[in-house]
């Protein structure tokens, strides 16, 4: 397994296990523990969480099945979680909203630590940019949790370059990553300044939904049909699968992208890990890009 360095002293496996679907997949008790141990055996040591996943249930499933059962596994893994999304009904609210106040950030992180069964997370991300956030207050909260040792590093998720610049200007410690939607199905962030900004900052990215939500496998829209044809051809040439090619397509980028899997199936996680060994040519990479966009580059 390859590892990606975020900041000065945080390394995450380039394949990160996303735990968003743990509840829906029935990942409880021994089943969850066995899955986590199998991931660690593959060299995948990083697990991505958020309080809202599974309607506030997934972090506790992980904590109950893994870290409260085998606390010694904590030193073998890196835990990422997020803060700042409030689901309907949580505070008597009728709609979902983003909230990046100091009180909310600290409260959510403390609740996450309790659910996960750990004293700290390796990386805390602001989940979504909150248009009502006071950046000085958000920065103060992030610096407070780092100073207290509850989060070792901080970053953001779904932030555009100007939003990162704005928040970083209030911080004395670095934002070490931006978690964005990146896949063969969604290439917008390759061309709207997000990757350019990350390269300028020497900031590796984390990709959520790296398989584009799975629609490429069965979708009948033009983009899915085009991609399926090209991906199948390239996969056959390399003796691998379409999802392996989709992961490899992200891994080839020089910004260093860590891909967050969305599966609780260990064999599909293994495919993502094996994709690190798949080398795509320039021609293959651009064929996939052309299939995604529906046109060749000029």
Name the residues annotated as catalytic. 53
- The three-point CA angle 164-79-112 to 5° equals 85
197: CB partners within 8 A, 6+ apart:
161, 164, 203
Report the relative pairing of strands 97-98 and 85-86 from DSSP bridges: antiparallel
φ and ψ of 38, to 5 deg = -65, -40
Residue 116, phi-psi category: left (phi > 0), alpha (psi -120 to 50), beta (remainder):
alpha
Nearest-CA neighbor of 155 among 2, 1, 4? 4
Q: Could you give the CA distance from residue 244 to residue 239 in angstroms, rounded to a whole number?
A: 10
Q: Could you give the CA distance from residue 246 to residue 185 in angstroms, rounded to a whole number?
A: 9
Across 1-141, where does the E strand assignment appear?
A: 3-6, 10-13, 15-18, 46-48, 78-83, 85-86, 97-98, 123-126
* Number of neighbouring beta carbons within 10 Å of residue 100: 25
DSSP secondary structure of 134-154: -HHHHHHHHHHHHHTTSBS-E
Nearest-CA neighbor of 176 among 247, 234, 256, 114? 256
């Amino acid at each position: 397994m390859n590892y990606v360095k975020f900041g000065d002293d945080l390394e995450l496996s380039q394949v990160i296990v996303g735990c968003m679907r743990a509840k829906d997949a029935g990942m409880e008790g021994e089943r969850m523990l066995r899955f986590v141990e199998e991931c660690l055996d593959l060299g995948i040591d990083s697990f991505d969480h958020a309080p809202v996943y599974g309607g506030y249930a997934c972090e506790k499933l992980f904590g109950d099945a893994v870290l409260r059962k085998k606390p010694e596994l904590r030193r073998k893994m890196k835990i990422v979680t997020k803060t700042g999304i409030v689901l309907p009904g949580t505070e008597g609210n009728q709609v979902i909203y983003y909230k990046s106040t100091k009180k909310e950030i600290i409260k959510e992180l403390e609740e996450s630590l309790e659910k996960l069964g750990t004293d700290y997370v390796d990386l805390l991300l602001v989940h979504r940019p909150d248009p009502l956030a006071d950046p000085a207050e958000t920065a103060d909260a992030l610096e407070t949790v780092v100073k207290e040792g509850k989060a070792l590093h901080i970053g953001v998720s779904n932030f555009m370059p100007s939003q990162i610049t704005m928040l970083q200007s209030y911080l004395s410690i670095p934002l070490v990553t931006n978690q964005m939607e990146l896949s063969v199905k969604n290439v917008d962030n390759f061309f709207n300044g997000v990757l350019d900004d990350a390269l300028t900052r020497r900031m590796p990215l984390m990709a959520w939904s790296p398989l584009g939500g799975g629609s490429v496998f069965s979708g009948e829209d033009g983009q899915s049909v085009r991609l399926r044809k090209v991906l199948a051809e390239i996969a056959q040439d390399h003796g691998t699968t379409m999802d392996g090619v989709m992961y490899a397509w992200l891994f080839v980028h020089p910004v260093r992208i860590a891909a967050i899997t969305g599966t609780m199936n260990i064999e599909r996680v293994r495919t993502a890990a094996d994709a690190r060994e798949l080398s795509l040519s320039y021609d293959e990479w651009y064929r996939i890009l052309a299939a995604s966009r529906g046109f060749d580059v000029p």
